[in-house]
Structure 1
């Protein structure tokens, strides 16, 4: 019996110390593909992905860099997307932030090599410029119940800070029950100083993260468009859901518009991951939501996004956990206890 699935590709921050060796551990049969990525890296005088993945030591300073993290996450995530069990029918693909680039390849709008070129180029440009930074702050409690009033209050505060002289601050990613905020140092510090510490760790700065999905990234977007031509993009083979909740359909996609969104709006405007997941649920009603590796940190945001839409009776953490225990609907391939549910 066929299981329908929406595949969700993760973004930055998912290849951490436990993931070191992910490519060699889970995908030894795909080394030929990884070596083609290596060739692209060698052409840019960069350390290869296979060497990075097989290193004996992990350091945050190195592996959180955009020019290191992005290609590793791409290689791991796309290999996972290609390793699904034969009875899984992928009805749509989406991703979070940088995961959009991976989704393009997983859906067939970019070849594996061209997808790698896009990720490697944008990750390198982000690192070279490193404009601004990011932090994460929740608007829900531990029970995950939606709190629109608290969210509106926080976003109003963000707008007030952004209006101050010399301060830049904006919503970078709408991530389930989390707000990912981005801006310059003055904007980020002002927000941190104004909010209570919650759950013992928020507001939390993200290491080596620039002010993604804000107007501060326009120089990066401009260089990306100059280096990555529209000819790299083709028709998707599966529906693609972008960071606005828009669906790009096979056979009906304007590839120039897809290129323009990917290296324009997607770089400089808010990425609404919550809406992407809710669109996936409502438009495609899949049996499964499969989050590819590396890592498994995106699962909470997916579950929260579904809960905010009251998807199939999910309204909070307890109802999600009850459904998950009864009939698992969310599979994180980066978790050893769930991976086999997707790979067969």
Structure 2
């Protein structure tokens, strides 16, 4: 029996110490795929994906870099896509932030090698310029009920800070029950000083993250367009939901449009991951939401986005956990138990 699924690709921050060796553990049978990525890296004088994945030691300073994290996350996610069981019918693809690049390849708008070229190029450009930074702050209660008033207050605070001289701050990503703000150091510090500490860790700065999805990234977007040709892009073979909640249908768009959105709009404008998940749910009503690896953190944001629209009667955290225990809805492929529900058995190297 076929199971329909919306496939969700992760962004930065999902290849951490626990993920070191992810490719070796799960994808030893995909040497041709990963070998192609390695060849691109070595031709550019960069350490190969295989070398990075099989290193004996993980360090935040190295593995959080855009030119290291991005290719590792892409390789892990695309290999996971190719590992889905035969009864999984992917009816749409979306992703969070950098996950949009992965979604393009998962949907066939980029070949696997072209997708790697886009990710590796943009990761390197982001790291070289490293304009601004990001922080995360919650706007929901413990039961995953979105506090709309508090969220509006926080966004108004960000706008007020952004209006100050030499301060840049704006919404980068709407991420379920969290907001990700991005800006220059003055803007980020002003926000950090204005809000209370929550859960002993928020507001949380994200290491080696630039001011993604804001106007500050215009130079990076321009450099990306100069380096990455339009002919890398083609019509997708599967529907895609972008960072505005807009659906790109197969045969309804041109590669030129995707190139322009990918290397301009989504780089410099807010990425609404919450809306992308909700749009995918409403339009495609899948049996499953499958989050590729590496990492399992994105599953929470997916669940929170669904709770916000009371998807299939999910009114809060308790409802979701009960549903997951009885009949899992959100599957994280980086979780070994959940992976077994949707993946063919991989072969470790």
1:230 is displaced (CA, Å) by 0.7
Task: Give 1:240 deviation, angstroms.
Answer: 0.5
**Corresponding residue for residue 230 of structure 1:** 230
Residues in 2 aligned to 1:56 and 1:104: alpha-carbon distance in whole angstroms: 32
2:283 equivalent to 1:283: yes
2:24 aligned partner: 24
Q: Secondary structure of the equivalent of 1:338?
A: helix
TM-score normalized by structure 2? 0.98
Q: How does 1:189-268 map to 2 (within 5 A)?
A: 189-268=189-268
Distance, in Å, in 2 between the alignment partners of 1:40 and 1:214 is 29
Deviation at residue 262 of structure 1 after TM alignment: 0.1
- Name 1:140's counterpart in structure 2: 140
CA distance in 1 between partners of 2:342 and 2:94 (Å): 17
- Name the SS for the 1:75 alignment partner: helix
SS, match of residue 30 in structure 2: helix
Q: In the aligned structure 2, how far is the partner of 1:275 from the partner of 1:156?
A: 20
Q: Give the drift of 1:324.
A: 1.3
- How many Å separate the matches in 1 of 2:146 and 2:272? 16
* Counterpart residue number, 1:312: 312
Question: What is the Cα deviation at residue 33 of structure 1?
Answer: 1.0
Return the offset for 1:142: 1.6
* 1-structure distance, mates of 2:249, 2:20: 35
Partner of 2:347: none
Count of equivalent residues: 344
Q: How do 1:159-178 and structure 2 match up within 5 A?
A: 159-178=159-178
Alignment partners' CA distance in 2, 1:5 and 1:100: 17
Q: Quick one: distance in 1 between partners of 2:120 and 2:294?
A: 17
1:301 CA displacement? 0.4
Moved over 6 A (4+): none
Shift of 1:235: 1.1
What are the ranges of 5 or more consecutive residues in structure 2 without an aligned counterpart? 345-349
Cα distance, 1:322 vs structure 2:
1.3
Report the TM-score, using the length of structure 1 for normalisation. 0.99
Unaligned runs of 5+ in 1: none
Correspondence for 1:89? 89
